[in-house]
């Protein structure tokens, strides 16, 4: 695949990483920061795999498809975790994660 063929997935990964990092910040600043540990750690994993996946795709790595499959799994786990929270940032994060997972799954086809 060329970089252009990865464009939608790269954009989804970058957006997801950005939103996950924002969610982490909001969770840490919230009143329940301590109880948000699972959410924060899952968002950290998700943001990092999304950034790595976008980087692999941008340079046309032959490992992009395999990494995107893992990214999709981690994004789905993050969405599930964020959906259990009752914070606006987590709702936005869950949506971005679900969208990113969809785009990443397309890369493995």
Query: What digits encode the pLDDT tens for the residues 63-90?
Result: 999 999 999 999 999 999 999 988 899 9
The Cα–Cα gap between 107 and 82 comes to: 24
Is residue 88 classed exposed, middle or buried when 0-12, 13-18 and 19+ CB atoms within 10 A define those classes?
exposed
Contact 98, 10 (CB under 8 A): no
Domain boundaries, the chain: 3-107
pLDDT of residue 95: 97
**In 30-87, alpha helices (H):** 37-58, 64-83
Distance (Å) of CA 55 to CA 12, 26, 64: 12, 26, 9
pLDDT tens digits, one per residue of 9-32: 999 999 999 999 999 999 888 776
Distance of CA 64 to the CA centre of its chain: 15
CATH 1.20.1270.360 holds for 3-107:
yes
Instruction: Kindly report the average pLDDT of the chain as a whole number.
Output: 91
pTM recorded for the entire structure: 0.92
């Amino acid at each position: 695949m060329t970089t252009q063929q990865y464009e939608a997935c790269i954009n989804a990964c970058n957006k997801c990483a950005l939103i996950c990092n924002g969610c982490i910040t909001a969770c840490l600043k919230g009143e329940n920061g301590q109880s948000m540990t699972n959410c924060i750690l899952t968002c950290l994993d998700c943001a990092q795999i999304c950034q790595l996946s976008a980087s692999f795709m941008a340079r046309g790595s032959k490992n992009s498809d395999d990494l995107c499959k893992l990214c999709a799994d981690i994004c789905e786990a993050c969405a599930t975790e964020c959906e259990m929270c009752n914070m606006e940032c987590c709702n936005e994060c869950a949506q971005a994660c679900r969208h990113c997972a969809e785009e990443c799954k397309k890369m493995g086809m």
